[in-house]
A and B are shown apart, each in its own frame.
Chain A
Amino acid sequence: MKTGLTRLLPYILILLATLALVWIDKPFWIQLAIGVAITAITALAWDILSRTGQVSLGSAAFFGIGSYTLAIFEPLIGLTLAWIAVVVVCALAATLLGLLTLRLRRMYFAIATLGFALSMQVLVVVFPDVTGGSGGIAPPVLADGDPRWQLGLIGLLLLAAVALSDTLLGLRFRPAFFMIRTKPELAAASGVPVVRMKIFAFIVSGVLIGLAGACYGGLYGYVVPTDVFTTNWSVLPLAIATLGGMDTTIGPLLGAIALKALEEVARSVIGGTGYQVVYGAVIILFVIGMPQGIVGLLRKAAALAGRRTVAGEKKKERERHA
């Protein structure tokens, strides 16, 4: 069905884009690319979780936990171990939240995850001795503050996220995820380990978002709770994955590029206050006009084109026979 080349296309494009941007070395484009890459990682991670039917509004919790874990552990155990701590803490938080929300369906799940994310923000403010409170905290700066290396590292993380997403879309996982999402009882009856799969998806998703958050914190070496725990980081992944096309790898990538580009345009036209109005407008237009996202639209176009060629060939064949 899919040829090897189209499957490799996202990897090649990401690699080429990253190398080209590092080569050109224009600060504006590098910052923009870093923004796109970080949001794309969170969107891919959100999508991975949603494939098991868990539509989360709690991404911000992991984003914030990631940056805070790195900042808190780095002075204690050193940089390398602190990055490992990010993975471990995010995995633990994901397991905990996954188990807590296991029985919740649909809207209840969304509200509970949203509640978790907002509670984390409050937790940070309530324990200022550990977290620095609302004044913020200083995670170690990523790649000594060289934007080109930062982009390179975040690009690598994006490649890893793409590879994970592709693996989970492969034959080994996709049918199980699909069954858990659509008919969980049937999945359990046919021997799919529903609980383990759901928690597994939660962990993969949470760790990816946490790593993205840690990178984000390392961009400037300074974060405040309202920066990383904001509901924006919960809504953005959902919006990007949905606008791009869910249950695909390329969808969140396209969505991230489209939305970030739009944001830049809006910021220069409207200014710093209220520029996010375009998010609202675009989301509403998409939900009405193309509920399957960009990928859905492309597929429809491809199907249409395909039908035309098939019809054309059939016509030719008929003419030949006649």
Chain B
Amino acid sequence: METTLLAQSLLLALTTAGLYAAIASGLTLEFGVTGIINFAHGEFVMLGAFLTYFLYETAGVPPLAGMLLAGLAMTALSWLVFDGFLSRVLKQDEHNQILATIGLSILLINLAMIAWTPDARVMHAPPLLPALHLGDVIVPGNNLVVLLVGIALYAGMIWFMRHTRQGLLLRLAADDPQLAVLAGVDVTRMFRLSFLIGGLTAGVSGGLVALILYVQPLVGVDLVMRAFAIVALGGLGSIGGALIGAVLLSAAENLTATFVPGGGSWGYGVAFVIIVLVLVVRPTGLFGSERRA
């Protein structure tokens, strides 16, 4: 019985890890390239979730298609946000950079509250895949979808960074912006590109949120807090570290919730104990490098 519980807990952790990895890798890409932590990243996820929800509930758009549309919409919004004001704070002091995306986050959360009330909603879509039975352990179909799409997003991002010309330029702009300028790279374009990719992954992740969690204005805050912990674990700016961080964090969370009495109420407290501990032991994260602090 104990082993079944353990296996169930770990398998569910694995599926949420797919979602966490997709969200955190977008965040860490944006940071790695521009040096800005996008505190509004979670709100893009939240908007993606609402979009997928409304597309399904009012127009009957299948969730997978809705997710894709949400991704595209968030890419467009990211473009608007970057060219509208984020590009202007790139050269400002860090407190202004922090404040800029926090301001955006507050704005989006409260607009969502005014438009859709703070109440939680559930998308009543039938499961996209049949549940998986492994002995006594059951993994719900939607959790499988979350795992698959999350991993696909993450893998797609890794592929883009490693095997395309744009990805190469992105890495150059991240590693050494001055050198990139000397090499004739349009750094601002690369910065924008990182935000577009971040917006795309956030929007699609939002669709995943709609599949397995409640859709509500504050859902992004919860998720982005965990993404911070993952990114701190994996190293700010390291996409590779994000997956490991995501698996570690969701395993830690699920095990706490399953085996510690009352551990379910710890929420992202687990995440934060991890953040503080990791940063104290290794200020650049477990897999991060010193170059951008």
Contact = CB atoms under 8 A, between A and B. Distances in A.
B106 A276 contact: yes
Interface string B105-117: 1111111011001
Contact of A111 (B92, B104, B107, B279): B279
B276 A279 contact: no
Given A280-B104, A280-B108, A284-B104, A111 B113 contact: no
Contacts of A112: 232, 275-276, 279-280
Contact of A274 (B89, B110, B221): B110
Contacts of A239: 99, 102-103
B293 A116 contact: no
Contacts of A280: 103-110
Given A106-B94, A280-B105, A111 B262 contact: no
B232 A287 contact: no
B197 to A, nearest CB: 19
A122 B85 contact: no
B162 interface: no
Contact of B283 (A104, A110, A291): A104
A153 interface: no
Interface string B257-268: 000001001111
B16 interface: no
B100 A277 contact: no
Contact of B269 (A103, A118, A238, A242): A118
A114 B103 contact: no
B99 A242 contact: yes
B53 interface: no
A303 interface: no
Given A273-B117, A287-B99, A107 B236 contact: yes
A116 B274 CA distance: 10
A108 B85 contact: no
A167 interface: no
B44 interface: no
Interface size class of B (residues with CB under 8 A): 35 or more
B96 A287 contact: yes
Given A103-B283, A242-B96, A283 B268 contact: no
A111 B236 CA distance: 11
Contacts of A126: 262, 265-266, 269
A283 B114 CA distance: 19
Interface residues of A, number: 45
Contacts of A106: 94, 293
Contact of A283 (B94, B103, B272): B103
Interface in A275-306: 275-277, 279-284, 287-288, 291
A282 B99 CA distance: 11
B95 A273 contact: no
B89 to A, nearest CB: 6
A131 B100 CA distance: 35
B88 interface: yes
B103 A122 contact: no
Contacts of A125: 265-266, 269
A108 B228 contact: no
A316 interface: no
B281 to A, nearest CB: 10
Given A119-B272, A284-B103, A287-B99, A111 B37 contact: yes
Given A115-B229, A118-B269, A123-B269, A284 B100 contact: yes
A42 B113 CA distance: 27
Most buried by B among A118, A123, A281: A118
A288 B85 contact: yes
Given A115-B276, A274-B114, A279 B106 contact: yes
B85 A284 contact: yes
A54 to B, nearest CB: 10
Nearest to A232: B106
Contact of A270 (B94, B103, B114, B267): B114
A238 B98 contact: yes
Contacts of B262: 126
B99 A275 contact: no
A103 B225 CA distance: 22
Contacts of B194: none
Nearest to A118: B272
A275 B102 CA distance: 16
23 contacts: A55-B94, A55-B98, A105-B293, A107-B31, A108-B283, A108-B284, A111-B231, A114-B228, A115-B229, A115-B232, A115-B276, A118-B272, A119-B273, A121-B269, A122-B266, A122-B272, A238-B95, A273-B118, A276-B109, A276-B110, A277-B107, A279-B110, A284-B104
Interface of A: 50, 55, 57, 100-101, 103-108, 110-112, 114-116, 118-119, 121-123, 125-126, 231, 235, 238-239, 242, 246, 270, 273-277, 279-284, 287-288, 291
